[in-house]
Amino acid sequence: MAPARDRRTGFSRRRQYGAFLAYVLAVAGALVGAALLVASRFNPPAFAAMRMAVASVTAPVSASAAWAIDGVVSVPDTIATYFFVHDENTRLRAELKRSEALLLRARTIAYDNRRLRALLAVRDRSADTVVTSRLVSSTASSGRRFALLNAGRAQGVEPGMPVRGPDGLIGRVVETGPAVARILLLTDAESIVPVRRTRDGLPALAVGRGDGMVDIRSVNTTNVRFATGDLFVTSGTGGLYAPGIPVARVVRTGNDSMPARTFARPDSLDFAIVQRAFLPLPPAPPAPRP
């Protein structure tokens, strides 16, 4: 049977010194406590001064300990906040991307609505509208300038009919199929349109250049002065185009022949209006009798 543990100090000096020191600290603590109790009872000002002196010594230690404890306690909150902010940032980025897509779609719809409203206003004012249809494609970068319209003979489209958009004249129909039509654009080198200047009625010709612009050339006169910004509209001469349709604006000052930029841009248009000729074509001569 194992002997019971001896709780006495015995001959171990370390245990003897430890016990002695504990007794001394206990007695000293009791004496200090008694002194403080007496001072607080019989001399409160002195007790208050001693208390503030002790507080002044221990305050920095307490502040440092409190700062360290707060730092340790805040570590989990900091980690949690980091992950929360990271997730929130990811969610906000995804939401911003969705919002940008919706905004782009809304702007596109608003732009299309404005153009369609302008086109409808033109169609409502014109009694000679044949059909309103979509421009399928256009040759905006080749030497010849044509466009394809998604309407043909089945919709009443015939060669020679003028085609316009909400901003101005586009060209004229040169070929038709059952459901499509080919349009010769104003900027084609084979296109010639009689026009007049809006500020004084000066007659001129809008001749295609084949590079996306037209030349405004004077008619039957010389030394005609063209100024930058001069506006030209169809004159009605020839009976094909109704008068007053916007055609082009001069981009440079000069004489006799100046480049101009068309108002209608077929490469950026979606829909166009096909109209009847301003003056009906004369009837075909009767066939000779045998």
pTM over 0.75: no
Domain boundary, last residue among 65, 95, 125: 125
Residue 281 in this model has a pLDDT that exceeds 50: yes
Q: Are residues 171 and 224 in the same domain?
A: yes
Q: What is the pLDDT of residues 165-201, one digit of tens each?
A: 888 899 999 999 999 999 999 999 899 999 999 988 8
Q: Are residues 114 and 133 in the same domain?
A: no
Q: Are residues 154 and 270 in the same domain?
A: yes
Domain boundary, last residue among 89, 106, 125: 125
Q: What percent of the chain has pLDDT over 70?
A: 68
Residue 73 in this model has a pLDDT that exceeds 60: yes
Q: Are residues 65 and 161 in the same domain?
A: no
pLDDT for position 59:
67
Say whether 282 sits in a helix, a strand or coil. Answer: coil
Which of 70 and 116 is assigned the larger pLDDT?
A: 70
Q: Are residues 167 and 233 in the same domain?
A: yes
Q: Does residue 289 sit within a domain? A: no
Q: Helices (DSSP H) in the chain: which residue ranges?
A: 13-42, 44-125
Q: Are residues 42 and 105 in the same domain?
A: yes
pLDDT for position 289:
63
Alpha carbon 114 to chain centroid distance? 17
Q: How far apart (Å, rounded) are the C-alpha atoms in residues 213 and 204?
A: 16
Q: Does residue 140 sit within a domain? A: yes
Q: Does residue 66 sit within a domain? A: yes
Residue 251 in this model has a pLDDT that exceeds 90: yes
Mean pLDDT for the stretch of residues 157-162: 91
Range of the domain at 174: 129-275
Q: Does residue 193 sit within a domain? A: yes
Residue 124 in this model has a pLDDT that exceeds 60: no
Q: What is the pLDDT of residues 136-150, one digit of tens each?
A: 877 755 668 888 898
Alpha carbon 144 to chain centroid distance? 34
Q: Are residues 41 and 92 in the same domain?
A: yes
Tokens 């129909």 — which residue?
Answer: 173
How many independent structural domains does the chain possess?
2
Residue 206 in this model has a pLDDT that exceeds 80: yes
Q: Does residue 246 sit within a domain? A: yes
CATH code assigned at 143: 2.40.10.340
Could you say which DSSP state residue 271 is in? E
Q: In this structure, what token pair is assigned to residue 80?
A: 């949690």
pLDDT for position 1:
45
Which residue, among 153, 92, 166, has the nearest Cα to 124 in the 3D structure? 166
